[in-house]
Structure formats: C-alpha cells, structure tokens
Structure 1
Amino acid sequence: MLNTARAIVFAGMLAALSAPADAGTLETVKQRGTLQCGVSEGLFGFSERSAQGEWSGFDVDFCRAVAGAILSDRAKVTFVPLSAAERFGALRDGRVDLLSRNSTWTLEREAGLGLAFAGITYHDGQGFMVMRNPAVTSALELDRAKVCVEKGTTSQLNLADYFRSNSMTFEEHAFPSAAEALAAFQSGQCNVLTRDQSALFAERLKLPNPNETVILPDIISKEPLGPVTRADDFAWFTIVKWVNFALVNAEELGISSANADEVPSSNKPDVRRFAGLEGGSGKMLGLEDAWALHAVRAAGNYAEIYERNLGVESRLGIPRGLNQLWNMGGILYAPPIR
C-alpha cells in the first residue's frame, strides 16, 4: 500500500516536471503580435504624442527597442498613457506588459508593490523651478515658499524631507496630475514647482514664456529612472533588463542604427557576440540570436536615443552628465553580452 502511494506521488511529480510551463509575458506578446507599453500622459522628450497620433521620446524609444528585440519590428508597440497614480496598478493588473514611464526605482515599489525595475535608463534628481523675478539662486532661499507638487510621487516625499532637514517651512500645494501642478505654478497659486530635473526642463517648454523661469542648480535627491516589470515573471524581467544593457553596450562598441547592417561582417569577438553570430545569447532569452542588433535597428544605441530626445541639440538641451558612459566621465555601465 505504501509503495503504491509512493508510486502515485512519484508519477505526479514526473507529470508536473514534464508539464509545459506558464507561457508568461514573452509568449503573450509574441502571440498578440504587439507589445503593450505604459508611458506618461505627455512629457516633452520622454513620451509625447503628435496631432497625428505618433509617439516619440526617450521612454517611447525604449519600448520600441524591446519590440525590436522580440518582434523584429519597432512599430509593433501599443502605447498606453498612464498617470502617476495609475501606472503601477496598470502594470500589476496586466493592462501593460512593461512600464517605461519616468518612474523612480525605490525599495517600497519593488518589495511593497511586487514590481521589478529592470535597471536604470536615466540618472536623475529632483529639482526646483522658480520665476526669474524675484531672483532666487539657491533652493536654500525657498523658506516659506508655496510649492506645487504632484501627489503620490517620490517628489512629494522628498520635498518634505528637504525642507525639514534644512529647518525651513513651506506651503504644499499637491495636485493629482503634473498638468494641474504646472497650471497652478503658471497662475501664481504657488511660486515654486518641484519635479525630477529632467521633467522640469520639459515642463518649462509648455509655459508661454519659458525664459521667465529658472531651474535652480540644486539637486535634492537621487532619482534613478528605469523600466518596470511585474516581479512574478523573471524570464520577462531578464529580457527587458538585457535590452537596456544592450543599448548601452552598443554605444560602447560603436554599434548604431546607421552601421547595424555592417556589424555581421566584423571579426571582433564582442561585436560578433552582440550580433548573435557567436555565443547563442538569444536562445537563453527565448529570442532570435540577433535580438540585440534588432533592438538597435529599432531605436538606435543609448547615445542616439538620448541625443535625439534629451541632448544638447534637442529642445530640452540637457547635457548627459551622469548619463555618460563610465569610460567617458559618467556612471553608465552595462555587463557584457557573453
């Protein structure tokens, strides 16, 4: 009797081991034929939609790179605009496969919300924008200021920490959306607007007279921004993470959208591994071996994406600073594809 019971249990274990695993997000995206990517509702340089319905921006291009790596087609992305309040819920509920929406990586968001940040695509920090008159040159001069901030963001928490740690007081005006916070700043309801500094550069362009404002040089926090996945699909998280790394590695290796077709003829081992000619990295991810090259063809390498959307020649004009490669004075560093 005991042996029979053991045999039944053993048979059940074998059946479980041989059963097909849950298809997961990758298979869902392949079957659907499009990537559902959550982005912001409209932030210059990061994600914005034209009157013709075309999306562009730094975060948008990352979505296109992921679509390129998986589906070999940058156009196979459905962009889902999400507010700060709804972004993480939409990801957890499966309304989007990936969140690429200027979101700060924090412990609470990973451990508390059951999410996984797939690296850092933009090293940012919170700052302040003020009206040029009266002249203010430092955030330490903002005692008793009226500050506009978006609800439910790390900016709201950092704001309170900064004023408390510097023994200053302030009057908080918190709004459900970034657009409402900007409108309140513009109308004079508050005399300071606080957000990630990159977002301040973008919001400034929406004002009728951008030159009447100043973005202070003070950075009061670390804001590592990056793509987010659900924590219950490690295989999908790994793919998104390595697309991020591939874009950085491509810049370091000199691989760009302009020369991608010439890469397969290279005799350099690291370039050949990147192109999928050696190493078989695609099989490990469940993708074609040329997945990384497809990602670059879809959106360009990291430098191309940055300069096109945020760099000094773009409307925002933000120097790369910390977002420069590690061997060029920045802290951008990616593990090798091998």
Structure 2
Amino acid sequence: MSRALLASAGVIATLAFAAHQASAQPTADTLAAVRARGVVTCGVTPSTVGFAQPDSSGVWRGIDVDYCRAIAAAVLGDANRTRFVTPTTANRFAMLQSGEIDVLLRTTTWTLSREATLGVAFAGVNMYDGQGFMVKRATNISAVRQLDGTTICVLPGTTTETITADYFRTHTMRYTPLPVATIEDLRAAFLADRCNVFTLDVSALAAFRASQGANAESFVVLPEIISKEPLGPVVRQGDWRWFNAVRWTHNAMVAAEELGISSGNIDSVAGSTNPDIQRFMGRIGDLGQGLGLTNDWAARIVSQVGNYGEVWERNITPIGIERGINNLWNRGGLHYAPPMR
C-alpha cells in the first residue's frame, strides 16, 4: 500500500475510533431526567438486612436505601421521591448502562477494571469492606486455613469469585466452587448444606447472620479478611452533572458528621457564625448553584435523612458491625470529606 493510502487509512481509522468513543458516551442528562420524572430510581441489593430490605410495612430500609433517599433530598427536595429495583449481580451494570436505573447502590466494589471497561464511574465509598467466609458453628472451623478441600458457595461474575480463586491458589489450598446465581439462592444453598462455606463481603455475611434471629449464634464469620472491598454508588461515565450530585451527596453526609450537624440539631445550628456551617446550610456562597442544585441542598439531606454517622447507627450497628475503619478520619477511620467551599 502506498504512503498516501496508508496515511488516508490512518486518518479514517482515527476518525472511526473518535466516533466510536463519542457514541459510547451517554448523551442523556440524568439530573434533568430525574427532575422531569420526579423520582430517583436506585438499584439495590435484594433482602439484605442493613443495606436494602423492605420492612413489614413494605418500606425499604438500609444504608443503600438511605443514600438513595439522600440523593432525592438533594436533587428533588424530598427524600421520599425514590423508587427501588433489585438488579442481579449479573445484570446490575447493564441496567445502569441502559438507563433503567439512575444510580447503582448494590454493595458494589470499586475496581479499576469496572471503571476502565464498563463505562461506569464510582462516586465515592459509603463502606470500606472486605471479603470473608462464613461457616456453621457445628463444623468447629475457626480459621481460613482449615477450609482446604471444602466446597464454597460463590456468586458467579463477582469479585468474590475471582478473589477466592486467587487466595486459594496463592496459599496452595484446594476447594470446590459451587456457583449460585442469586444471593437468595446462595444463602439457601448454604443452609441446605450444599456447601460447607459461603463467601461474600463481611458486611453481607453479618447481615445474613443478623437475619437468622434466634439462630444467629449457629453461624460464624471467620476472622480473616482477604481483600479490600470499597463499596459505593455507581453512575454512568460522561454524565458528570449527575456524577457530581451523587458524589457530593455522599461528601455532604460525611462533612455534616465532621461539623457536628445532625438531623436532631440542624435547626439550632442554623444561626452558627462558623463559615463552614453557614456554607453547608446554604446561607452564604453559591455552592448549590455550582452543582445545579439549590443552595440548601446539603441541609435538606441532613434534615430528612441524617449525617453519615446517623445512617450508620440506624442501619449497620444493629447487624453487629463496628465503625472501625468506617469512622471519620479524626477518629481513626478512613472517611474524609473534601472541603465544601
């Protein structure tokens, strides 16, 4: 091929690649669409105590539910203007990419490969977690090293499946994986003794244990944590106005706890002379307008849903998980809000 033809082919290839990249970016403005619809649609995990589960009256409860409600409070002014759907582990990203949900809040781990290949962006970390293992107390297993040769129930297509394989290979241990399609079937398989062990994030194991009521003591979460699992809200890449609204909803909840602003005292702190509190309340500056929101957006989150600590105490403390690394940075934890100024 001649040099001219090669150059022409290169230009065509470059233009085709650029067109592909442009078409791959979402053209929708989710913030505008949510406002027009009047509801935030959130994808949450089904039937997981502490994270997302309908109560006896059919009202959804949990930390991921509260995050969805906080987004609605910030964007729509009303935390109750939410709709919850329950994607599977297999279709959760497809539902986000197709626009069936506005934000994925389904105990989903932030990884490089997911952001690099799926066209999604993680807007923050609402829980620092790690993968663990659960066994029945009657097995007398007390450590991961005793799992050599066991059958382990895993959710296919998840980070837990990959990490389990890597861990056992690294430690020259054997196991038989039993892939189970849904989290409900995974729990049922474990209870029916189809596997000796099941593995998920430690928070999900604790949630399952708490759901067993009087039988909770029959189950043991082994002490070893074998991975880092930062969980948080996920949105579509390229839709940056919506990304900012979701990211700063999380940051506002953390900042409120740092500033000592809670749902119980927000009315009384409104008259504070602290400029950080004044900006948070929307009484000075135009931080809300920069996000495409009203200036009292952060105050609405705390008033209607609470700060990060309140959300944790309401949902996660009851299932037996201590704050630990999920505490504020100045209390020995990892949570830290960038300055709201």
Same fold by TM (over 0.5)? yes
Aligned equivalent of 1:245: 251
Q: Of 49, 63, 74, which residue of structure 2 is paired with 1:69?
A: 74
Alignment pair present for 1:189 and 2:194: yes
Aligned counterparts of 1:36 and 1:263: Cα–Cα separation in 2: 32
Q: How does 1:210-221 map onto structure 2 within 5 Å?
A: 210-221=216-227
Matched position secondary structure for 2:177: strand
Residue 52 of structure 1 and its aligned partner are, at CA, apart by 2.6
Residue 109 of structure 1 and its aligned partner are, at CA, apart by 1.0
Aligned counterparts of 2:37 and 2:273: Cα–Cα separation in 1: 37
Q: How does 1:2-151 map onto structure 2 within 5 Å?
A: 24-151=29-156
Q: Which amino acid aligns with 1:310?
A: I
Aligned equivalent of 1:198: 203
Residue 209 of structure 1 and its aligned partner are, at CA, apart by 2.1
Quote the sequence identity (%). 48
Aligned counterparts of 2:130 and 2:186: Cα–Cα separation in 1: 18
More displaced 10-residue stretch of structure 1: 200-209 or 72-81: 200-209
Alignment pair present for 1:328 and 2:331: yes
Aligned counterparts of 1:87 and 1:232: Cα–Cα separation in 2: 18
Aligned equivalent of 2:305: 299
Q: Deviations over 1:275-332 (max 9, x none)?
A: 1112210010010001111111121000000010001xx1x01101110000001111
Which 5+ residue runs of structure 2 have no aligned equivalent?
1-26
Residue 75 of structure 1 and its aligned partner are, at CA, apart by 0.5
Q: Of 238, 260, 263, which residue of structure 2 is paired with 1:257?
A: 263
Residue 23 of structure 1 and its aligned partner are, at CA, apart by 6.5
Q: Of 274, 277, 284, which residue of structure 2 is paired with 1:278?
A: 284
Q: Is the 8 A contact 2:28 2:239 kept in 1?
A: no
Q: Deviations over 1:191-243 (max 9, x none)?
A: 11100000001112344722111101100000000000000201110110011
Matched position secondary structure for 1:331: coil
Residue 264 of structure 1 and its aligned partner are, at CA, apart by 2.2
Q: Of 158, 162, 175, which residue of structure 2 is paired with 1:157?
A: 162
Which 5+ residue runs of structure 1 have no aligned equivalent?
1-21
Matched position secondary structure for 1:82: coil
Aligned counterparts of 1:23 and 1:41: Cα–Cα separation in 2: 27
Q: Is the 8 A contact 1:126 1:194 kept in 2?
A: yes
Matched position secondary structure for 1:224: strand
Runs of 4+ aligned structure 1 residues displaced above 4 Å come to none
Residue 125 of structure 1 and its aligned partner are, at CA, apart by 0.1
Q: Is the 8 A contact 1:68 1:297 kept in 2?
A: no
In the superposition, the TM-score normalised over structure 2's length comes to 0.90
Number of matched residues?
314
Matched position secondary structure for 1:99: strand
